[in-house]
Structure 1
């Protein structure tokens, strides 16, 4: 019974997200970015967060991803780097595997529901990154 309630909540959340506007996804992604990424990449996305100087590798700016890819935002590559569970490691390895961290926070939902939440969080974050390209 608990599983069905959780699944229903996730289904409703997923449907509302799917019906939402891209700007809504951008706002959700901005919140996600500020909570999880800005400490290294900086609030502006230029790679100058408060922890950047403590890193053993250079923290890249994230506002020029499209410019470095002939004007096209590399959506799938960015998804894979952020998620990290496919073996694609950002920055040569030290970047957290956000897909694993996000999933650990919602595992009680069950494997399928948790995976939907993880993918939604990653996608919202990527939509936000796409919106800050210069």
Structure 2
């Protein structure tokens, strides 16, 4: 038990050190976005990615999330939608459940370390989405 507490604290410290500032989080979030989201949502976030026309539901733009929420970026809702593990289907099917996909890529870190990495990746991605609001 003591080992897991230590591992958890070290993982959190590493995550904060890796992200550092919101600006760095936005930069790493942009990389996440371009690698995992742009094929459907488009490089500019307008819902016009190269795979959008192949989807069975319209792919939403992501630059007007604040505008649709009275000028306030809906941070928690976006985090839940991107993570997807709690069952939110914020914009239709079939968006990948990125929380599960990210976690599968770092399972060797154990349940606590992997979860810290997953949450960090999602938070960075959402900070980036917040930065592209119009």
Q: Quick check: TM above 0.5?
A: yes
Q: TM-score, normalised by structure 1?
A: 0.90
Residue segments in structure 1 that go unaligned for 5+ positions in a row: none
> Alpha-carbon deviation of 1:56?
0.5
> Partner of 2:79 in structure 1?
79
Q: Distance between the aligned counterparts of 2:15 and 2:102, measured in 1?
A: 16
Q: Could you give the per-residue CA deviations for residues 31-80 of structure 1, whole angstroms, max 9, x where no partner exists?
A: 00000000000000000000000001000000000000000000000000
**Could you list the per-position Cα deviations for residues 14-33 of structure 1 after superposition, in whole angstroms to 9, with x for gaps in the alignment?**
13035x12111100000000
The 8 Å contact of residues 43 and 49 in structure 2, kept in 1 or not, is answered as yes
Gaps of 5+ in 2: none
**Alpha-carbon distance between aligned partners in 2 of 1:97 and 1:90, rounded to the nearest angstrom:** 11
Provide the TM-score with structure 2 as the length reference.
0.90
Once structures 1 and 2 are overlaid, which stretch shifts more, 9-18 or 73-82?
Answer: 9-18
